[in-house]
């Protein structure tokens, strides 16, 4: 695609970067088939290539974007499904972040919009503030009907998943037995306020597999939430704090920064791009999703698990952002679960960071669609690698939703995941205990023995 930036514009690094990205898009259009909003609306401006054109026009013109452009760019989930599909690998994620930052700097949103965004940006990344907000929201649920729509959604979410907070203190959780690795854990922000069990399971399983697990002083939100809302400066401040905190550990030997929220993991791995410093690049290169590090460590099964049917949901940030598709499945299968692929697994569940709060109607449509697909697999348990997806699927489905690491922790000696406690799971049929399960095609060899034909 040709662009028409002036030399002055191109002197600005973000425009130079956008220019390079825009030129790679050649409008093949494969992206349209996997873009959730295009599939829902068939509006060209709600497709990746349509948005790319809108971004081009917006940046070339400079200054305040028109409301129509903002409307369509706001509706992008940043799910990155388009990047998986794109034949020429347009770097859409960085382009949309540049566009969002431009909008925040140059567009005056209506007051309620501004207030909500500010509220989210100043609350979600800070666990103590978010926890206080959740408590307020729970109190406010009695008045929910009197509140504006999107705030009502926030209260609904607070109600949907009762918070079980634990804000981790800086400390070292020492390895059990011989120490094999020294790792830092991203304790996260919203996750600490919402669900303590994910971090707890992560620390336990890492300790059990020979890791010293460090909760570093000064580390906090990864910056993804403000970044994807266009608050670039705030995102960089948060990211820098993390880089500083973990860089201080490098001298003592740091094997990895472990992340159990895949949206955060995608951002951490991209710190080199966001911040540009050598330390940021080092931290980005050290970042591992919890399933990656467990593959590296070699998962040691602790107890014999029944082959419960686990519908595995691919969080977009894992499958599209980090290209981690096989490891979670391999680990779950290794400990004995029957792992089920969810139809239309390339599609976003609608959670997408703050998207379900900012675009509740689209998010609800996608959430219902995802939950229906999940339930169609007849699962006993739903597993995902990102809390946002867990909350979203849990809102629309009946099956208990847990984090992948909670299941792995359970299978290797940890407690029953909180969401499963007190729930009677179906007794799996004996035949289902075949090693490769019933419905997986991660690799073509993993086919069931009960084919419809004779071989």
What's the token pair of residue 261? 């929220």
Q: Which is nearer to another protein, 85 or 192 (CB)?
A: 85
* Neighbour-count burial for 100-133, b at 16+ CB within 10 Å, e otherwise: bbbbbeebeeeeeeeebbeebbebbbbbeebbeb
Q: Which is nearer to another protein, 424 or 454 (CB)?
A: 454
Contact region with another protein (CB under 8 A), list: 79-87, 249-257, 351-359, 409-417: 79-87
Please report the sign of the dihedral spanned by the C-alpha atoms of residue 405, residue 407, residue 413, residue 415: positive
Q: Which is nearer to another protein, 398 or 454 (CB)?
A: 454
Q: Which is nearer to another protein, 182 or 345 (CB)?
A: 345
Q: Is residue 452 within the footprint of another protein (CB under 8 A)? A: yes
Q: Is residue 178 within the footprint of another protein (CB under 8 A)? A: no
Q: Is residue 33 within the footprint of another protein (CB under 8 A)? A: yes
Position among 85, 192, 356, 359 found at the interface with another protein (CB under 8 A) = 85
> 212 - beta bridge partners?
182
φ, ψ dihedrals at 382, nearest 5° = -110, 135
Q: Is residue 421 within the footprint of another protein (CB under 8 A)? A: no
Contact region with another protein (CB under 8 A), list: 116-124, 180-188, 250-258, 446-454: 446-454
Q: Which is nearer to another protein, 31 or 408 (CB)?
A: 31
Contact region with another protein (CB under 8 A), list: 182-190, 244-252, 339-347, 348-356: 339-347
Reported residue count of the chain is 455
Measuring CA to CA, how many Å separate 282 from each of 238, 249, 255? 17, 12, 11
Touching another protein, residues 368-387 (CB under 8 A):
376-377
Minimum Å gap between C-beta 306 and another protein is 19
Contacts for 58 with CB less than 8 Å, ≥ 6 apart: 65, 66, 69, 99, 102, 103
Interface with another protein (CB under 8 A), residue total 47
Minimum Å gap between C-beta 434 and another protein is 11
Q: Is residue 167 within the footprint of another protein (CB under 8 A)? A: no
Contacts for 274 with CB less than 8 Å, ≥ 6 apart: 223, 227, 235, 236, 239, 267, 280
Q: At what angle do helices 360-376 and 149-160 cross, to 10 degrees?
A: 30
Query: From the CA atom positions of the chain, what is the Rg in Å?
Result: 22
What's the token pair of residue 151? 């705030």
Q: Is residue 343 within the footprint of another protein (CB under 8 A)? A: yes
Positions touching another protein (CB under 8 A) are: 1-2, 24, 26-30, 32-34, 42-45, 47, 49-50, 84-85, 87-89, 340-341, 343-346, 376-377, 438-441, 443-445, 447-455
């Amino acid at each position: 695609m040709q662009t028409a930036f002036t030399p002055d514009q191109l002197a600005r690094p973000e425009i130079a970067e956008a220019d390079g990205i825009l030129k790679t898009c050649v409008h093949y259009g494969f992206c349209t088939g996997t873009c959730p909003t295009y599939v829902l609306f068939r509006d060209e401006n709600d497709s990746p290539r349509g948005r790319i054109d809108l971004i081009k026009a917006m940046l070339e013109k400079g200054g305040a974007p028109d409301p129509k452009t903002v409307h369509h760019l706001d509706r992008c989930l940043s799910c990155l499904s388009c990047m998986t599909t794109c034949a020429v690998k347009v770097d859409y994620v960085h382009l949309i972040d540049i566009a969002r930052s431009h909008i925040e700097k140059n567009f005056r949103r209506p007051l309620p919009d501004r207030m909500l965004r500010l509220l989210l940006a100043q609350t979600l990344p800070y666990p103590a503030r978010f926890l206080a907000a959740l408590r307020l929201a729970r109190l406010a649920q009695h008045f929910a009907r009197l509140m504006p729509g999107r705030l009502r959604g926030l209260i609904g979410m607070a109600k949907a998943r009762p918070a079980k907070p634990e804000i981790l203190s800086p400390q070292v959780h020492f390895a059990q037995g011989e120490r094999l690795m020294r790792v830092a854990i991203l304790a996260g922000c919203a996750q600490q306020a919402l669900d303590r069990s994910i971090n707890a399971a992560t620390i336990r399983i890492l300790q059990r597999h020979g890791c010293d697990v460090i909760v570093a002083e000064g580390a906090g939100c990864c910056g993804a939430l403000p970044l994807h809302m266009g608050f670039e400066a705030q995102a960089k401040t948060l990211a820098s704090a993390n880089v500083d905190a973990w860089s201080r550990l490098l001298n003592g030997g740091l094997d990895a920064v472990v992340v159990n929220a895949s949206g955060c993991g995608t951002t951490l791995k991209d710190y080199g791009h966001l911040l540009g410093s050598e330390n940021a690049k080092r931290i980005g290169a050290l970042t591992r999703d919890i399933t990656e590090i467990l593959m590296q460590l070699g998962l040691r099964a602790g107890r014999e698990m029944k082959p419960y049917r686990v519908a595995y949901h691919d969080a977009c940030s894992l499958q599209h952002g980090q290209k981690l598709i096989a490891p979670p499945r391999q680990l779950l299968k290794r400990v004995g679960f029957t792992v089920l692929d969810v139809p239309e697994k390339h599609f976003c569940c609608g959670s997408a960071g703050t998207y379900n709060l900012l675009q509740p109607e689209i998010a609800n449509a996608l959430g219902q669609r995802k939950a229906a697909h999940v339930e169609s697999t007849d699962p006993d348990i739903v597993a995902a690698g990102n809390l946002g997806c867990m909350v979203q699927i849990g809102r629309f489905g009946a099956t208990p939703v847990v984090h992948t690491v909670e299941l792995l922790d359970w299978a290797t000696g940890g407690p029953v995941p909180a969401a499963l406690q007190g729930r009677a799971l179906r007794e799996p049929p004996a035949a289902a205990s075949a090693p490769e399960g019933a419905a997986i095609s991660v690799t073509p060899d993993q086919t069931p023995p009960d084919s419809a034909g004779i071989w």
